[in-house]
Amino acid sequence: MADHCRLGLETLREDARLWYNGYRFNLKADTSVYNANMLLYFVDSFDRKRCEYPEPMLDENIASDYGKIMKMFSIGNRDTNYSVLELLINTGEAQASQRRKFEFDKGFERDDFISLLAYMGFITLARKTLSGEVFVIPNYVIREFYFHYFKVELERRNQFSIPNHTLRLAVEQLAVNADFQPLITELERALQLLSNRDAMGMDEKHVKVLLLTLLYQTQIYFIHSEREMGHKYPDILLLERNPLKVPFQHLVELKYCKKGKKADLKEGWAAKRQEGIAQVQGYLQLPEVLRLRDLAAWVLVTDGETVEVLRVESSP
């Protein structure tokens, strides 16, 4: 594929690794492995005429199977399982004492559930601690599944709906016109619904997860959360996703202002806005960021209900 399409071999390998690699079944293993079915689908469905990646990047038959497997979240204590889902969404990892067998007559606890996720390929071994094993999300395909399911659970638990069609149109406006407002409107609506139900102890972390959840419902961008760039970590990067060509890529920094401190000189809204602008201007000077084509940079300031969005230009 690399020779035929004159694609960079390292780029091809890296993209395949991010999408389909990451599985480790023994902590003594030196390298992680690919999901063979996913990788074979990629090779077989690669458009050699146009030299484009498959669309979608995952075989729909496999996607359907994973959707059925997600029903495992209803096994045992659903609230405990949901807390594991939140942990994985927020941190990308979960710790447990790995079970070698399941004894359902003795109950199905948190360690059982995390072990089951590992055996089904939804998480994989990363490292060992004194109290057990640490499991992580292996790749981008599985991360997408988690965010899709998280939206379903969020809607079910809080009895509201966020139409995917509306989200697709909002992200399309962001991609084509660098217009963030339609997506901000959907984010504010979701935040206000959650705030009214006091469903989440809202803070910057939760707002960011909710924004990522909305973004992951579309297949327009390759989404990075706190990707290391020059020893700095922008909150969100929305990068072009082969085979799609988009007029704009995006860098987003999120700032949270507690409701009771909006007027505070050090911790208030204006101070958070200025802090975010300074951070983004710093990111825009990084060589890795300068190489990104058609990049729009943003600061989002929120109190957990309302969101202000500002586009930031690089400092002179």
The model's pLDDT over 50-81, given as tens digits with 9 standing for 90+, comes to 989 998 898 887 777 767 777 888 889 999 99
Residues 102, 61 contacting (CB under 8 angstroms): no
Cα of 17 vs its chain's centroid, Å: 16
Rounded Cα–Cα distance for residues 258 and 270 (Å): 12
The end-to-end CA distance of the chain, in Å, is 42
Pick the range with the lowest mean pLDDT from 100-109, 131-140, 194-203: 194-203
Amino acid at 61: N
Rounded Cα–Cα distance for residues 291 and 140 (Å): 23
Taking the CA atoms of the chain, what radius of gyration do you get in angstroms? Answer: 21
Check whether 197 has a pLDDT greater than 60.
no
Residue 40: C-alpha distances to residues 68, 145, 215 (Å): 22, 19, 27
Average pLDDT over residues 1-10: 85
Average pLDDT over residues 19-43: 95
Q: What is the pLDDT of residues 159-170, one digit of tens each?
A: 999 999 999 999
**pLDDT for res 199:** 47
Residues 207, 303 contacting (CB under 8 angstroms): no
- Categorize the per-residue pLDDT at 314 as very low, low, confident or very high, splitting at 50, 70 and 90: confident
**pLDDT for res 200:** 52
Interacting residues of 121 by C-beta distance below 8 A, sequence separation 6+: 23, 35, 138, 142
Lookup: tokens for 287: 């060589």
Residues 79, 113 contacting (CB under 8 angstroms): no
Residues 203, 256 contacting (CB under 8 angstroms): yes
Global pTM reads 0.92
Output 80 or 314, whichever has higher pLDDT: 80
Average pLDDT over residues 132-156: 94
